[in-house]
Structure 1
Amino acid sequence: MDTTTIVALIVALGGWALAGVTAWLNYRTKVDETFFHALDWLSGGSQKRNLGIAVVESTWQRRRFRRISTPLLCNSAVYLLLRTESRDSPNELNNLRRIMHLLTAPKKIPREHQFHYETLLTALDERPGAQQNDRGLTIIPATELASWKEALATFLPQRPQLDQRDHERRSEID
């Protein structure tokens, strides 16, 4: 082989490598755009939330997306537990079940997400007494609430038990 052929092969291989890297970067950018756009859907109605959860489910195995999704899913779950006006919506109950399935699946949680899981556990503690409240899902079976609390409690350090006075003080603050 002469020098011209070798240079041509090197340039061609370099071109293919550059094309491959460019294609990979474009793909990654498109996946990121879709993911971040889907996060907006978590704040919509039940059907938009359904779409947002579907995208999060499809990216859940990727750590970089899970780190971003976890706080958003915890907040969405708290919203469905305590604040939604769709109190008896089967669609929202299904959305909550899907969120809780994702959040209770890991064997342990990163320290950076501990606060979010504690907030969610607190909301689960408040849900049974929130039946008189005019917001939050009311059609959640008690067995599911209990199993979610049990699963979340395994991730978190032991919390001190609140007595009745603590609950009264907390309700005065709210």
Structure 2
Amino acid sequence: MAQEDVENARASTTGPLPGSGYVASSSEEARAAAAREPNRRTVGELFSSATAQFSTLVRDEIQYTQASLKHKVLNLGMGGVLLAVAGVLALFMLGFLLHAAAAFFTVVFGGRWWAGYLAVAGILLLIIAVLALLGLRKLKKSGKYPTNLVGGLSKDVDAVKKGLSK
């Protein structure tokens, strides 16, 4: 009698549920149905596939970011090297320009080469003095700004505490 009850219960659960439009089945029957219909996948398979696709997407995004950062770093490095070479060449050019200015002043002073070089040195000294005075003025002006970090932080903490107490 107990065997009969089990078979009746199994038959009643594998049939359609009244009014639902769904069919209840055992997991064996679901696997067999999935094997018969290869395009139909179970929820577990769909979840596994979605997880695999998501991890592949994240992995590919990381690889793309690494490749683009590598390319960017290479470009920045090459740009820095080119700027350094340009700076060194500019210093050499400055020497040639100063020599040409000295030659010009030598002609102006009637062939006295020492006077030409002395004139260029005087002009450079004047430029250096003006730039140094401007730099000192900027440094003195920066001392007028308060840099009390602890006081500013304590004011921020007090403002946050006041905001939290409301």
What TM-score, normalized to structure 2?
0.29
Which structure would you say has the larger RCO, counting Cα contacts within 8 Å and 6 or more residues apart?
Answer: 1
**TM-score, with structure 1 as normaliser:** 0.28
Larger Rg: 2
Name the one with the larger helix percent: 2
